[in-house]
Structure 1
Amino acid sequence: MKFAYRFSNLLGAVYRQGNLNFSKDGNSVISPVGNRVSVFDLKNNTSETLPVSTTKNITCVGLSPNGNLAILVDEDGAALLVSLITRAVLHHFHFHKPVNSISFSPDGRKFVVTKENVALMYHAPGKHREFNAFVLDKSYYGPYDETTCIDWTDDSKCFVVGSKDMSTWVFGAERWANLIYYSLGGHKDVIVGCFFEKDSLDLYTVSQDGTLCVWESDTELDGLVLKKSRDKPKPLRPGDEEEEEEVMEEEEGEVIRGKAEAPEEKTVKNVRYKHRSKHFFNKEGDFNNLTAAAYHKPTHILVTCFASGIFHLHELPEFNLIHSLSISDQRISSVAINSTGDWIGFGCSGMGQLLVWEWQSESYVFKQQGHFNNMASLAYSADGQYIVTGGDDGKVKVWNTNSGLCFVTFTEHTSSVTNVTFTSSGFVIVSASLDGTVRAFDLHRYRNFRTFTSPRPAQFSSLAVDASGELVSAGAQDSFEIFLWSMQTGRLLEVLGGHEGPVSCLCFSPVQSILASASWDRTVRLWDMLDSWQVKETLPLTSDGLSVTYRPDGQELAVATLNGEISFWNPQTATQTGSVAGRHDLETGRKETDKITAKQLAKGKSFTSLCYSADGESVLAGGQSKFVCIYNVKEQMLMKKFEISCNLSFDAMEEFLDRRKMTEFGSLALVDEGAGDGDGVNISLPGVRKGDMSSRHFKPEIRVSSLRFSPTGRSWAATTTEGLLVYSLDGSLVFDPYDLDLDVTPASIHKQLRLQEWVSAIVLAFRLNEKALKQEVLETVPHEQIPVVCGSLPDIYVEKLLGFVAACLEKSGHLQFYMTWAQNLLMLHGQKLKNRSGTILPTLQALQKSIQRHFDDLSKLCDFNMYNIRYAAALSKQRGVKRPADEEEEDEMSGEEEMSEASLDNAELML
């Protein structure tokens, strides 16, 4: 049960492609990220990735008006109906063609999907359970080219569809007698957006060449007349050219096709549109196309975005320019406005940016950007609160694990960052790069305060910092040397030579001043930092060394080699204690251009990243595959395998050759499309990991570049092609009883609580091991009885109780109550816990993480209160004569100030 890790969050990527949506209350933005969907809460500044995924990248998202349902459609037209309340998949559906846009009607009863040149209207899934959630109502034909956008009237009676053939079509959602369809022209380019005015049939259409057309209808919404008879029309004769439409009933729904315009019923006046005005946006050249548009009906504000990263705010119908700003140097792919009209969300697929702009105060509400290229490395801070990542774009980003957001980005490196790590203090980040520098960043002042370089330019591919944080080492991939610097002075201390191949990985022992280095020369060398930096031991490997890591207690060494093996060594005796053959566990998929099977391809694959768990009992391994494996070190066997992605938009995902991609000339990926001179095919070179970025169709290959366990042992993270994936233990779903007996029942636990037998009630609750029951028992114990209960608790339950207190302290509001539990457990059982420091270290780090988080929040609050109290005291002094009531208030304020300072002192003592 301790390996029941589940997908928790996706960091490092905030937007890829598709349309943005705001939640019903307007406080959250829903963004498609690859084949997943992330929800960013702008009020609480947190992010969450839904635990659902499609088989390919998501292209459009439709949100129901009540905000409870979402329809996710991928590149192939496969759709998922997802509940945003339970985060569960309710229905699978396939449209069989790529879908351009999807939109629910305002009353939530219908939704329209546009694919190719047809608009399909479906009955929206209701509250009742149905066999088929998507029931086709009508099919609308009219445009000659692909449809691009949809908008509904406020009363859900009509909808409008824009097309690439420069036309806009208005369709009736019901069988109206005076409006079946209406076609509008007036544009010279692709229609990007079409919008109805509030409570009206008046229209605004925006095209890609920066033209806005305003259309005025001669009929109000109330003037639409329902058609009485629904008889099938007679079949058309060859000479009949005056029919208005052709309607036919089919099994899948009603089909409406546009024909030459002529009224069918003379008694009802047809809806007519008049071209009221045309406006043009200021452009800076042909490259500056209009790419996205959104309209907020209550405030009459139109937002238009351009390929140069500029966006405009206009008030309609007068076309008054309110605001114009450049927020990016890349094309803005999507735009959305929240329900109140205050916030505007922008998505830039080229840079992976997601921005939320408050246009009235002209400030950013939310501004996040992922790594532009692949992530190369990650590291956890000592308390597990932060994760630092380095990418091929040369950026170093720091992420908060609680909120899932990046709060600082360092851009000093000029080339790919190959490795990052935290020092033991948790406030200094060290990064190595191919630009020939190793840099140290301060998390207090957010600056680069040290830059380490070598005498000759070298590309650093590996990095390690010792337990004290004083020694910084980096390995070069071209000169086969290891460089050592002092963190305090920044001086180069020593250059360690001896390896005959590139240094692939470095790791310091957590308990001794010994550096382990793995190299392609099939050796692992142990360097003694105290004895003139000499080689202490040389461990011979069976193949090239790719990764090396120490166990948290420093008594074991794990090495991953090129032949797919993980070998375990005793660093004291330099003897091998075991090995795991993990080649068959990788199960790599075949790439599109591969000419051999995935099974044969797997023989050349290996693990490139290793990490021990917090307790040292298992090791996490990943490589050039979609699988991450957890091995038990003692038993040397595979415990669990995680599939990090099911996204077929990545290369090397499929195990077998897809017959649909086979032609008479061979695989479709190997056939030249005639894009160039016909000299050859764009096939990636052997050994190239990242693909050819210059080719027309670039598919990134799925791989895991780095893995790390959290110091608390509750989660692990992996940098992959998708982004930074976090897997954590979901305690509410894990039933793991301890020493269970027939007498251990909730009834017997409640009986002990009624008898005020606190110790026996706690022991029984921890034997049953249900979170809600443990929390109930713990919070029933009187505050003054906590020291007595902690003193008489059996030793075996002390560590379990301390871990549970650390978990509760992170989310509970009973701060002082749980702090009292933690303080008494540590004070009364400190010596016994010290003897088992290796096994209890993850629990203590989880406790430290919880206390540190509350300390940061409380210190800000106390500082804020102190300034408020001083301000109030200064105001009272300005008023002149103090009344007795004022003096009493000032005494109370000074008392509150002393209490806030006392609470901060208590938190500092606990830390």
Structure 2
Amino acid sequence: MKFSYKFSNLLGTVYRKGDLLFTPDGNSVLSTVGNRISVFDLRNNKSSTLPIESRFNYETLDLSPNGCTLIAINEEGEAHMISLISQTVVHRYRFKGKCRAVRFSPDGKHFAVCKDNNVFVFKAPGPFSGEYNVFVMERVFHGAYDETTCLDWSSDSKILAVGSKDMATKLYPIEKYKNFRIYSLGNHTDGIVGCFFEKDSYDMITVSRNGQTCVWECTIDPSDLEVLEDSTPVVKKKKSSEDEDEDDIDITKSLEKSQAEAEKALKDIHINETENKEASKLFYKRIARHYLADEARKDQKEAVLTSAAYHKASKILVTGFSSGAFFIHEAPEMNLIHSLSISEQKISSVALNQTGDWIALGCSGIGQLLVWEWQSETYVMKQQGHANNMSCVSYSGDGQLLATGGQDGKVKLWNVGSGFCFVTFNEHTSAISAIGFSGNKRFVVSAALDGTVRAYDVIRYRNFKTFTSPRPVQFSCVAVDSSGEFVAAGGQDVFEIYLWSVKTGRLLEILSGHEGPVVSLAFSPSITTTTLASVSWDKTLRIWDAIEKGSAHESIELISDGLYVTFNPNGQEVAVATLDGQISVFHIKTATQVVVIEGKNDLGSGRSDTDLITAKKNLEAKSFTTLCYSADGEYLLAGGQSKNVCIYNVKEALLVKKFEITQNRSLDAVDDFINRRKLTEFGNLALIEEREEREGGDVAIKLPGVRKGDMSSRVIKPEVRILSLQFSPTGQQWAAATTEGLLIYSLTSGLVFDPWDLQIGITPMAVRQALKENDYLNALTMSMKINEANLIQEVIETIPVRDVQLIVSSLQDRLVERLLLIIASGLDSSRHLEYYLYWTQHVLTIHGPKITGQKHMPAILALEKSLVRRFEQISKLCDYNKYTLEYVTNLGKVMAEKQVKAEKMDDDSDTDLSEDIENNLESYDNDIIEIGDI
């Protein structure tokens, strides 16, 4: 098994705090998620997280006009210049303080950063500025009297507007101009939240925290700015004395001749320049003042304006308030176009896309991210993570879905491929302690501290069963058997295990025997048995067969308190994590201990700010709290009260690899040592809480001793923990529910050279030579041994369809498992769907009887996952085409019927006309006859 797992995505958290950005094409949103940055592709309905991690949480973002360079600044003032092409950090720069805003100029030559009461202007590297050194400072402005909060560039990138908490907006020129220096706009009675230039104009709109909006008109146009030319001295070549005398005589004569004319001309020029300067000097006039907070304060009197965004082309102003409402006004008259309340939490950030149709809104209080199309009044995207910590995670049987439970009482289902949550269940009224998928992927079961166990239908999205106990019990663990017919849950305050039938919902058995809280349950994955294993704080592991023997069980004594139990996929062994930091493996039938893993020293130390002991001493009290076997059962994934995830070889009891899930110093217990600068004679300065004023004037105070959740405030520093681990059934990835969210680690086989059974003569050149000679079987075998994805795909797609059956039948049995994984990846990435289905059919037909046992299960599940995903994609496309063709056909029939009716009406009218003509002719003939008779 390979261990080149790399971080691939972050689920469960969509927004924390900080800026939101749209990409220049307007199809994607960039969001700050802790110390990482997520990209939400709205067109393709897919999310991804950049493989970049900061030492602290990101807060301030901006993207260059060409969409290639991203500047991200964390809460400690460390700026990262990120290339979105290579997705790497190009350069770092320390501002040594909190930065409130960063903004690129429209021409891409500069970017400005607000820090304290200063504004720093840097040259942006790239072809626009001709500068390829990063963070080259060009100008620094010190005009503000208080902390700067926002900034904006004029359309021609010549003037920078900066708003601050001193209730004024300062205008700074990037170059020196004759008719413009530094200018200040006042008239506000609170700190400035947003300042915006109009398109192709110096007219401005400024918005303050109390909702006041001022509209300013400028006296000059961008074309009227006059650059002040530098009077640089001209250095002349040194001349001889004779040449100097001749030059002096000539200059004296010319000056005497034109002195009067020159003086007159200078007077005229001076007069004209003075008149032009007075006429074209930059002034601002306030033409309107509006109070936007009046609408928001109808529902909440203390609502204040927290964020604002302006679309210059369509003149749309969007303002977000602390009450959770946002308003859309049309500038400059400030006519209210639209208003909506999305929550009761404040709107931390607002962004508009390029066309001005989509509005991105971020609420840091509940971790919500919305993209709202205001013209059609529909959600383009609506995502929200768990309000508090995520407590448990479970994979579906095919590895396509993830279920998570949180301390907010919600169960969420996530699509692993897209990274989006597609359904949320909120029937629980208390924190969820455990969650599990059924073997057939049809339902999810969750246990909570509210005394209920609930089953949710994954297809119809409803809570179809609720299991309860005869007396109120706080359930701490839950398990579903492999057939999906039985559900078991263990009590935290009542030391019993309850067994229900899923079909009838009846309580079948109450298993008694434990003398402490039952903390973990696991059913055997074997289809033939319903063996149940449970561990408790009473230092015992108990094996139950409740369906056949009732409460009869076998008890195994543990050295310390049991914390977690999990079954090996073969159904013969269980692994138990205990409080002393050990992992013990027991054989079920013989009840003997097979392996002991000493994992205490592998957990890794981490010293919290409140710890009074060293990290080394603190390590003695740590242990693993969650375990999971790999898909083939040879390796064990373990995590607990630290930032490290360990992978162990079960047979050898050796640590194979250790993953550090985060470097985020905004979390507690990440560092092993406390900074000596924080230690004073009065104690640790980190214990002194920095209270910042909330929107509305309230002061957030944290409850003492709170380590998880936010029992009273949002001013928290949670401790880093790994709460739950799960290996994907396909073996290609694993998930960790942590303090930061749901982290997904996947195999990146294309980037890692991992040969298998390699020999000297096996090279890419030899593979391609075999392809030229039509020796396809040898080429395929050699490429699989080299194990490079691109080379294998090249070989497979070169093989003619008529030779596939012969090659598959001639393939060695040991290569079949690898071929299944290759076909699965080809189904995901290649356009040649029918060709890979042809391979799949022949492999399963010829080698089907040999593909048995747990060894081949990861490959089979990976193939199933790819096939199901392709089926869903094609079925949607086929349904769309089917209904479109039906619509076109029916429309054609309707049009044909209309045409027939129209032709019939024309024929009827022609018939009537002919009859009228005949009648008229007959009457005319009769008249002629009568006249003739006369």
Contact kept, 8 Å, 1:588 with 1:624, in 2: the verdict is no
Q: Does the aligned pair in 1 maintain the 2:360–2:369 contact within 8 Å? A: yes
Contact 2:645–2:659, Cα closer than 8 Å, also in 1: yes
- Aligned counterpart, 1:565: 582
Match of 2:498 in 1: 483
Report if the CA contact (8 A) 1:6-1:728 is conserved: yes
**Which secondary structure state, in structure 2, belongs to the residue aligned with residue 604 of structure 1?**
coil
Counterpart in the other structure of 1:312: 327
| Cross-structure match for 2:921 | none
**C-alpha distance in 2 between matches for 1:880 and 1:97:** 74
Distance (Å, rounded) in 2 between the aligned partners of 1:448 and 1:880: 49
Match of 1:873, SS state, is helix
- Cα 1:131–1:203, aligned 2, differ >3 Å: closer, same or farther? closer
1:854 and 2:873 are equivalent in the alignment: no
**2:571 match: secondary structure:** coil
**Matches of 1:220 and 1:115, distance apart in 2:** 30
Distance 1:692 1:359 in 2: 33
Q: Which stretch of structure 1 is more off in the superposition, 666-675 or 217-226?
A: 666-675
- Structure-2 residue corresponding to 1:201: 202
The alpha carbon displacement at 1:661 in A equals 1.4
- Paired positions, count: 844
> How far apart, CA to CA, are the structure 2 residues paired with 1:673 and 1:344?
33
Counterpart of 1:578 in 2: which secondary structure?
strand
Question: Residues 690 and 633 (structure 1 numbering): CA distance in 2 closer, same or farther, change over 3 Å?
Answer: same
Matching residue of 1:112 = 112
State how far apart, in whole Å, the 1-side matches of 2:404 and 2:709 are.
Answer: 22
Amino acid corresponding to residue 465 of structure 2 in structure 1: R
Secondary structure at the counterpart of residue 338 of structure 2: strand
Q: Which residue in 1 is equivalent to 2:825?
A: 807
Per-residue CA deviations over 1:488-519 (Å, capped at 9, x if unaligned) read 00000011110000001000011121000010
> Which secondary structure does the structure 1 equivalent of 2:548 belong to?
coil
Q: Take 2:131 and 2:711, find their aligned partners in 1: how far apart are those partners?
A: 46
Q: Conserved in 2, the CA contact under 8 Å of 1:459 and 1:476? A: yes
Larger Rg: 2
One-letter amino acid matched to 1:6: K
Alignment partner of 1:414 is 2:429: yes
Match of 1:540 among 547, 550, 557: 557
Cα displacement (A) at 1:855: 1.3
1:297-324 deviation line (CA, Å, top 9, x unaligned): 0101111111111111111112111111
- Which residue of structure 2 aligns with residue 44 of structure 1? 44
Q: As a proportion of its length, which structure holds more helix?
A: 2
Q: Answer yes or no: is the 8 Å Cα contact 2:162–2:171 preserved in 1.
A: yes
Aligned twin of 2:834: 816
Give the TM-score, by structure 1 length: 0.90
Change in Cα spacing, 1:265 to 1:765, as seen in structure 2 (3 Å) is farther
> Does the 8 Å CA contact 1:169/1:181 hold for their aligned counterparts?
yes
CA 1:337–1:483 in 2, change beyond 3 Å: closer, same or farther? same
Change (3 A) 1:355 1:265: farther
CA distance in 2, matches of 1:866, 1:338: 34
- The CA distance in 2 between the partners of 1:307 and 1:473, in whole Å, is 44
Is the aligned partner of 1:646 residue 2:646? no
Matched to 1:105, the amino acid is S
Which letter does structure 1 place at the counterpart of 2:882? M
Q: 1:658 to 1:746 in 2, by over 3 A?
A: same
1-structure distance, mates of 2:340, 2:890: 42
3-state SS, counterpart of residue 455 of structure 1: coil
Find 2:731's aligned residue among 713, 728, 750: 713
Identity %, equivalent residues: 54
How far 1:130 sits from its partner (Å)? 7.6
Does the 8 A contact of 1:876 with 1:882 survive in 2?
A: no
Give the drift of 1:748.
1.9
1:785 Cα deviation after fit:
1.8
Give the TM-score taking structure 2 as reference length: 0.88
The equivalent residue for 2:611 is 594
Contact 1:216–1:275 (Cα < 8 Å) also in 2:
yes
2:680 pairs with 655, 658, 663, which one? 663
CA distance in 2, matches of 1:105, 1:673: 35
Q: How far apart in 2 are the matches of 1:51 and 1:314?
A: 38
Q: Secondary structure at the match of 1:357?
A: strand
1:866 alignment partner, one of 878, 882, 896: 882
Q: 1:272 aligns with which of 278, 283, 288?
A: 283
Give the Cα–Cα distance (whole angstroms) in 1 for the partners of residues 568 and 169 of structure 2: 65
Structure 2 CA distance for aligned equivalents of residues 644 and 469 of structure 1: 33
Q: Which residue of 1 aligns with 2:744?
A: 726
Which segment drifts farther, 869-878 or 459-468?
869-878
Q: Deviations over 1:321-372 (max 9, x none)?
A: 1111112221000000001111110000001000001111111101000000
Shift of 1:39: 0.3
> In 2, distance between residues paired with 1:695 and 1:441?
32
- TM-fit CA distance, 1:108: 0.7
Contact 2:388 2:709 in 1 (8 A): no
1:740 aligns with 2:758: yes
Q: CA deviation at 1:879?
A: 4.4
Structure 2 residues without counterparts, runs of 5 or longer: 234-272, 694-700, 900-934
Cα-to-partner distance string for 1:736-781 (whole Å, 9 max, x where unaligned): 1122222212222222212222111111111222111111110111
CA contact (8 A) 1:670 1:683 kept: no
- 2:482 matched to which residue of 1? 467
Could you report, residue by residue, the CA deviation over 1:182-237 in whole angstroms, capped at 9, with x for unpaired residues? 011000011110000111111100011111101111011111111123789xxxxx
The residue that corresponds to 1:188 in the other structure is: 189
| Aligned residues: CA RMSD | 2.1
| Cα deviation, residue 697, structure 1 | 4.3
User: Within 2, Cα distance between the matches of 1:425 and 1:869?
Assistant: 35
- Which position in structure 2 is the counterpart of 1:102? 102
Matching residue within 755, 775, 787 for 2:773:
755
Aligned to 1:144: 145
* 1:134-160 Cα deviation digits (max 9, x unpaired): 011111011110000010011101010
> Could you tell me which amino acid in structure 1 is paired with residue 551 of structure 2?
Q
Between the aligned partners of 1:168 and 1:724, the Cα distance in structure 2 is 42
Q: What is aligned with 1:622?
A: 639
3-state SS in 2 of match to 1:200: coil
Distance 1:302 1:683 in 2: 39
Q: Secondary structure at the match of 1:713?
A: coil
**Partner SS state of residue 753, structure 1:** helix
Distance 1:756 1:212 in 2: 75
Measure how far apart 1:673 and its partner are. 7.8
For 1:642-684, what per-residue CA distance to the aligned partner results, in whole angstroms no more than 9, with x for missing partners? 11010101111111111121222111134588999xxxx9884
Aligned to 1:699: 717
Which ranges of structure 1 fall in alignment gaps of 5 or more residues?
A: 233-263, 884-911
1:334 equivalent in alignment to 2:349: yes
Contact 2:124 2:131 in 1 (8 A): no
Cα shift readout 1:381-403 (whole Å, capped 9, x = no counterpart): 00000000000000000000000
What is the distance in 1 between the residues matched to 2:200 and 2:303?
33
Conserved in 1, the CA contact under 8 Å of 2:402 and 2:413? yes
1:402 equivalenced with 2:420 (yes/no): no
> Secondary structure of 2:51's match?
coil
What is the Cα deviation at residue 782 of structure 1? 1.1
Deviations 1:674-695 (A, max 9, x none): 999xxxx98844xx64277337
CA contact (8 A) 1:50 1:87 kept: yes
Q: 1:140 to 1:826 in 2, by over 3 A?
A: same
Aligned partner of 2:354: which letter? S
Cα 1:28–1:672, aligned 2, differ >3 Å: closer, same or farther? closer
Contact in 2 for aligned 1:421/1:430 (Cα 8 Å): yes
Report whether the alignment pairs 1:844 with 2:860: yes
